[in-house]
Structure formats: C-alpha cells, structure tokens
Amino acid sequence: MADAAKDTYANLEKQIEELKKELGTISKSLLSRASDAADEAEDNLHGLRDRAGYAAKQVRDRAQVVAEAARENPGTAATVGGSVGLLGFLLGALVGGVVVASCRDR
C-alpha cells in the first residue's frame, strides 16, 4: 500500500510539473499577444490623433469662411439662419407629434 501511495504521489508531482510548464508557455504567449495588442492600439491612437487634428483644422478653416461670408452679407446670413431655425423647429414639432401619437396608441 505504501508503494501505491508513493506511485500516486510521484504521478501527481509529474502532472504538477507538466502543468507548470504549460502554464509558463501560456503566460509567455499571453504576454506576447498583450504586447502586440498594446503596440497596435498605440499605432491606432497616433493615426486617430493625426486625423482628428486634420479634421479640426478643416472645420476651423470652413468656419472662418462662413463667418467671413456672414460678415459680408448680414441680410443673407440672417435669412439663412432664420430659415434653418424655423425648419428645425418645425421638424422638432413634427417628430414630437409623432412620438406623442405613437405613445397614445400603446
């Protein structure tokens, strides 16, 4: 019986060592993948920052053009602004009416 216990113990120790080796391999693989993912995320962040900077510059340039046009043509700017505001109000009222009507139907 003592020999059977020793064999079982030796077998368990062998399995534990194999599991430790597998765990080490898995840990190295995960570390490598995490490092690759971090590098890719950093590259994506730099690209996104560059594109955002370009987009912000374009928006500033276009806003400046619109502001200059509004200064040169205040009547037209007021008409366009009022029309857009009125259309926005009407669209909001229409959507609000549809939402209220759909809530009543429930």
Q: What is the pLDDT along the chain (106 residues), one digit of tens a residue?
A: 678 888 888 999 999 999 999 999 999 999 999 999 999 999 999 899 999 999 999 999 999 998 888 888 888 888 988 999 999 999 999 998 888 777 776 6
pTM (two decimals): 0.44
The total of other beta-carbon atoms located within 10 Å of residue 103's CB is: 8
Integer Cα distance of 50 and 43 in angstroms: 11
**For position 28, what pLDDT does the model report?**
92
Integer Cα distance of 94 and 88 in angstroms: 10
Q: Which amino acid is at 9?
A: Y
**For position 1, what pLDDT does the model report?**
60
**For position 106, what pLDDT does the model report?**
65
